[in-house]
Amino acid sequence: PPAHSHSDWIGPPDKLSNLRPVIFYVPPEESALERRLREARQEAQASNQRFWARHNRAFRQEKEEFIYSRLKAKGLEMRDESGQKATLNAEEMADFYKDFLSKNLKKHLQYNR
């Protein structure tokens, strides 16, 4: 942010977490209470970043493995004759989403707590 800025700056979504990072404004005469609040917000942001980056990485990896195993079971390759990436239908993917959410329920509950 420019030196004359007096507000927080929000960046574009992170490639791993999909969260928009915040650069917090630090007032020149920040009080101890303001500093504690800013630092708590920074720690919350960092914690959210770590959680969602790990979660999204696991999601993408497990999704690819699920698609590969389903396609292999059907005798299909990851890419069709034209080079397009093969896909599963919505019903098949719903099985993956339900299973993934069920397996990660405790993590989500802990995160929300």
Q: Parallel, antiparallel, or unpaired for β 9-10 and 22-23?
A: antiparallel
* pTM score, whole prediction: 0.79
CA–CA dist 60, 57 (Å, integer): 5
Q: Whole-number mean pLDDT of the chain?
A: 91
More confident residue, 87 or 56: 56
**φ, ψ dihedrals at 9, nearest 5°:** -115, 135
21-61 pLDDT, tens digit each: 999 999 999 999 999 999 999 999 999 999 999 999 999 99
Mean pLDDT to the nearest integer, 64-82: 83
Four-CA torsion 1, 11, 38, 106, nearest 10 degrees:
-170
Q: Quick one: pLDDT at residue 24? A: 92
